[in-house]
Structure 1
Amino acid sequence: MPSNRTLVVGASGGVGAAVAAELDARGWTVTRLSRSKDGLDITDEDSVKAALAALDHPFGLVFVATGALTSTRAAPEKSLADLTGDELIAQIRLNALGPALVLKHLKPHIPRGDRFVFAALSARVGSIGDNGLGGWYSYRTSKAALNSLLHGAAVELARTHRQAIVTCLHPGTVATTFTEGYDHDKVTPDTAAANLIDVIEGLTPEQTGRFYDYAGKDIPW
């Protein structure tokens, strides 16, 4: 039978906390992990390995809500002149490598015969095909890298775990500290969480390895 146990990584952030609360409200049994409460450093493989090893597996859903818009600077780059190696590498480590490390060390615990979902927060700006504005080099690149890593992992897992679903999700622009100062139409974390869980609950194994927005619509790679 599918497990109703879920793990939310990054559960102290705006979206992560809302996702955990929404899952609680829908009757899931939620385990929370975060840097602030558990000392998890998602960019450090030893930290990820130790945190996951200490948990009671398996889970039916793992939701990774970690990430940041910038790492070494106050705002995303507006032009190539602003691009630095330090920012690019830091963003890739946090936004792409981190979730991939979670999936790597989770893989031995993924049930083979039951439905399992691994979902990570991505962003529409990580779409190469949808990029008509340029800029934001490090953040865009890190999310594109995340999408590629999880797509590849979905292909690998499908060979041995036929009920597994790996997906990248764009939550829309959510009103959190992450988006302060940006003039976009925003939704509350609670609304974003409900939308994302609706998408997750509707996914089938045939949809693994794809990139969806908060309404369940495909986003081009």
Structure 2
Amino acid sequence: MHATQTPRQDDPLDVETFARPEQQRRFVAAMHRIAAERAPGSSVRIYVSIAPGDANCERWLECITDDLPDGVELLHYRTAFEGAAYDWDALASRLDGLVVIGRPKRLGSRVHVLGPVARLELRSLVATKPVLLFTHNHGLVPVVDCLSQVMPPEEAPRLKLIAPKRWNRESITIRAALDALRPTGVSNAGLESFRAVQAHLLTPFSAASR
């Protein structure tokens, strides 16, 4: 059983997870239900919450794609809303998961700050779908394993997420979350075709910028 470790007295972040054992059990059970209820051949759509003007956008999207199961359809602001109104509620109802990217406190930090929009996107899905924090050091970490803190200003609060220092990529929470995001019944031919389309979606303006 993957259990929360006792933090060192001099470093409160020195844990494998900030979730209580019962929180982990409920999360894993919910992920297993999602995986079991997915119809064979159905698509899996994940939205990556990243600012459209982020200079590292394409690099982070490539890293996230590598960490997710094959066949996942990755969306972000440009592919979901470019040229259209930002209608998050309509999109959220069609999503299977969310990856949030916060601003790290410093290079290599485990502390990530989400802006007001990303915080609301997270709140709308965290209780029902797999929601993961992308960290530069550990890759994808389930938000359930992070320590969260609401930050000012009050009229547009931000969210601080702290990833555990001893995060383990083999933990039961990340394995359950990835299983919940794994498409079922996708043929090899269909997967290769999907990868070609997905590569184009990740760099939608590359050809125009040459």
Q: TM-score band (shorter)? A: 0.3 to 0.5
Structure holding more helix per residue: 1
Q: Scaled by the length of structure 1, what TM-score is found?
A: 0.32
Q: Pick the structure with greater CA Rg.
A: 2
Q: Scaled by the length of structure 2, what TM-score is found?
A: 0.33
